[in-house]
Amino acid sequence: MVDLSVNFCGLEMDNPVVPASGTFGYGNEFKDFYDINILGSFSFKGTTRDARFGNPTPRIAECESGMINAVGLQNPGVDAVISEELPRLKTFFNKKVIANVSGFSVEDYAYTCEKLDKEEQVGILEVNVSCPNVHGGGMSFGTNPDCAAEVTRAVKAVTTKPVVIKLSPNVTDICEIALACEEAGADGICLINTLLGMKIDINRRKPVIANKMGGFSGNAVFPVAVRMVYQVSKACSIPVMGCGGVSRAEDVVEMMMAGATAVQVGAANLVNPYVCKEIVEKLPSVCENLGINKISEIIGVVD
């Protein structure tokens, strides 16, 4: 019997499979497909201080081996998540959840994280620093090590639970930013978020999505994600959550060998709502075929 359990930043998980934020809602959308308690945990929809309607439509475009989205962090706001989504979640999910938080200022991040930190169901705070800094000319917090560290310090100052910083791959040196977050007190790193992409309708001679550009995700980004997980896991001493293009049990093993302690599944959920269940169910046989008895022992085995 293969032992699939892992410990990510103090969160004990039955297995390393975690649906990624933005692809699994607050769990309610998937509970009728299967018992989501089979999952290690899941990262709920990116939550902001105030409710957001999101970007104008169309805001999703299919691409070869992936998709582009510019949803714009549509969510009901942190107060509604605490008063409505988390109580509902408690009725069908009996594990700790990962709270994904977004913001447009350092104060936004601190405010939202401090509120969610008090919630019993929240096991980890996943801070998405790929958002545009409204006080910094619109540049993403995650593209500058000083800005990423500033957000990390602000969140750590008002929280008690593990803080994991989710980084953007749209940078020259991912390790520099990850190390800055670690030095500022981050308990873990999640990567990668989406790559910046664009798709043009050649008949209309216009971008397919209203926002022109958006986040590119899906199978095509997997090698980039594996590379960055490998680099950061070697550079940092804090654990890494791998994410990006994962759609098979074999991808989970590869990501963990690169250095991930746990692995998120994103765009694949939108193609096949059963994908995470299928990965969890297939993982033991994949491990057995590879001679793996305890999956945590393969974390970072690649030199």
pLDDT for the residue numbered 140: 85
With respect to residue 76, please indicate whether it lies within any of the assigned structural domains: yes
pTM for the complete prediction? 0.96
With respect to residue 303, please indicate whether it lies within any of the assigned structural domains: no
CATH of the domain at 225: 3.20.20.70
Q: pLDDT digit string (tens) for 1-28?
A: 999 999 999 999 999 999 999 999 999 9
Determine the structural domain holding residue 20 and report its residue range. Answer: 6-298
pLDDT for the residue numbered 137: 56
Phi, psi at 174, each rounded to 5°: -65, -30
- C-alpha dihedral over 20, 42, 122, 26, to 10 degrees? 80
pLDDT for the residue numbered 130: 84
Q: pLDDT digit string (tens) for 145-200?
A: 999 999 999 999 999 999 999 999 999 999 999 999 999 999 999 999 999 999 99
**Quick one: average pLDDT of 225-246?**
98
Q: How many domains does the chain have?
A: 1
pLDDT for the residue numbered 299: 98
pLDDT for the residue numbered 131: 73
Phi, psi at 96, each rounded to 5°: -70, 145
* Mean of the per-residue pLDDT values of the chain: 96
With respect to residue 79, please indicate whether it lies within any of the assigned structural domains: yes
Q: How far is CA 32 from CA 7, 27, 28, 92, in A?
A: 28, 10, 8, 10
- Of the residues 9, 63, 113, 131, only one is catalytic, namely 131
With respect to residue 167, please indicate whether it lies within any of the assigned structural domains: yes
Whether 113 is a known active-site residue: answer no
Q: Does residue 85 have a pLDDT over 80?
A: yes
pLDDT for the residue numbered 226: 98
**Quick one: average pLDDT of 82-93?**
98
With respect to residue 263, please indicate whether it lies within any of the assigned structural domains: yes
Q: pLDDT digit string (tens) for 239-258?
A: 999 999 999 999 999 999 99
Percent of the chain residues past pLDDT 90, beyond the cut: 95
With respect to residue 25, please indicate whether it lies within any of the assigned structural domains: yes
Percent of the chain residues past pLDDT 70, beyond the cut: 97
With respect to residue 1, please indicate whether it lies within any of the assigned structural domains: no
With respect to residue 230, please indicate whether it lies within any of the assigned structural domains: yes
136 pLDDT band, cuts 50/70/90, is low
